[in-house]
Amino acid sequence: MTWVVWVLAAVVIAVAGFGAVAVPRWRERDERRRVAWSAARAAID
């Protein structure tokens, strides 16, 4: 039974680590995309 707790804890830690790394990258990518579209629109005008 204790191995179930260890497995669940490992999964929680892995998901938290993935989120801590992935979320800032996703935000940065989204911001770069918005800046690029803004620059493209400004160039058209």
Rounded to two decimals, the pTM is 0.62
pLDDT at 1: 76
pLDDT at 45: 79
Give the dihedral sign, CA 16/17/18/24: positive
pLDDT at 11: 97
Tens-digit pLDDT profile for residues 1-45: 799 999 999 999 999 999 999 999 999 999 999 999 999 999 997
